[in-house]
Amino acid sequence: MKIDFTDKVVLITGASRGIGRSAAMLFAEHNANVALNYRHNREAVESLMEELKQFHVNVRSYQADVAREQAVNTMIDEVAADFGRIDVLVNNAGIWREAAITTITDDELAEMIDTNLKSMFYCARAATPFLSKQGGSILNISSTAGQRGEAYHSHYASTKGAVIAFTKSLATELVNEKIRVNCVAPGWVDTDMSADALRSPEGPGYVSLIPMRRAAHPDELAGAIVFLASDWASFITGEVINVNGGAVLCG
Ligand code: NAP
């Protein structure tokens, strides 16, 4: 059996850059039609669309702030109308910010929860009626931080821990809808999100705690995402795949 998404439609949130971009490339390479969500970076999504032309699949972009319920509902209705179906939802869009518990503001907390967690509820709620028509799959992106915590990023780590509980809850809730729900939990990945930290004076220290002694390339996350969405993973649901060079093992 080959991994093949011919005629299938994959919606990826936060697809303009980083992990979402790599996932879009790999899905298209395996013949998926792709709906690319982004928030601000139109230029990046346009350059991705140019690159995706080599795969001769149907590609469209959707500007929407996934932290806003109405924007999500509109986007998902548009994707379903444009493509006629939705088979895979990748809840990838996210932000990572520093905030100490003694100084974190309500606005910082709300922005984190809205962007990293509520967005996944909004997208899953709106997409489920479309996914369940023919069966499908939801992929949620968590983090090592969601399993072992992260000092000065407790709001981020809390959302990512919740993403794992959300995944496991939906996996059993949606089994009769023929929807599998899984999670990919990256460690350090070399993207815009982590670039400043990885290249800061503390960067080598972060990397030294990874048994493989390097950050991941975003393509290394895409492999796990595409695998979990594919028929190769047809009996896998409610699972978390850590892609972190062994980092969670080290506490
Ligand atoms: P990135 O390079 O910073 O890209 C973030 C993407 O999310 C961009 O496409 C951005 O769109 C989009 N986005 C952010 N907020 C959005 C919103 N409110 N609505 C719609 N789109 C939004 O990040 P990344 O490293 O690829 O991270 C992807 C996922 O992996 C995140 O959930 C992150 O928490 C998780 N993760 C990353 C790492 C890491 O080390 N990089 C580690 C663990 C987990 P624009 O381009 O339009 O701004």
Task: Give CA–CA dist 64/98, Å, rounded.
Answer: 24
Tokens matching residue 180: 């599998």
216 pocket-lining for ligand 1 (C-beta < 6 Å): no
Nearest 5°: the CA angle 10, 41, 23 is: 30
20 pocket-lining for ligand 1 (C-beta < 6 Å): yes
What is the residue with the minimal CA distance to atom 29 of ligand 1? 92
Counting as low any pLDDT under 50, the low residues of the chain are: 251
Q: Is residue 193 part of a domain?
A: yes
CA–centroid distance, residue 1 to ligand 1 (Å): 32
Q: What is residue 42's predicted lDDT score, i.e. its pLDDT?
A: 97
Q: Is residue 233 part of a domain?
A: yes
Q: What is residue 249's predicted lDDT score, i.e. its pLDDT?
A: 67
Q: Is residue 75 part of a domain?
A: yes
Tokens matching residue 222: 């895409």
Q: What is the CATH number of the domain that holds 231?
A: 3.40.50.720
Q: Is residue 76 part of a domain?
A: yes
CA–centroid distance, residue 18 to ligand 1 (Å): 7
Tokens 């595409």 belong to 226
CA–centroid distance, residue 95 to ligand 1 (Å): 6
- Ligand 1 atom nearest to 17, measured from its CA: 9
Q: Is residue 28 part of a domain?
A: yes
CA–centroid distance, residue 176 to ligand 1 (Å): 31
156 is catalytic: yes
CA distances from 189 to 18, 90, 185, 206, 212 (A): 9, 17, 11, 12, 13
- Ligand 1 atom nearest to 218, measured from its CA: 26
Q: Is residue 167 part of a domain?
A: yes
Number of structural domains in the chain? 1
Q: Is residue 249 part of a domain?
A: no
Q: What is residue 44's predicted lDDT score, i.e. its pLDDT?
A: 98
pTM of the predicted protein model: 0.98
Domain residue limits at 184: 9-243
Q: What is residue 197's predicted lDDT score, i.e. its pLDDT?
A: 96
67 pocket-lining for ligand 1 (C-beta < 6 Å): yes
What is the residue with the minimal CA distance to atom 46 of ligand 1? 41
186 pocket-lining for ligand 1 (C-beta < 6 Å): yes
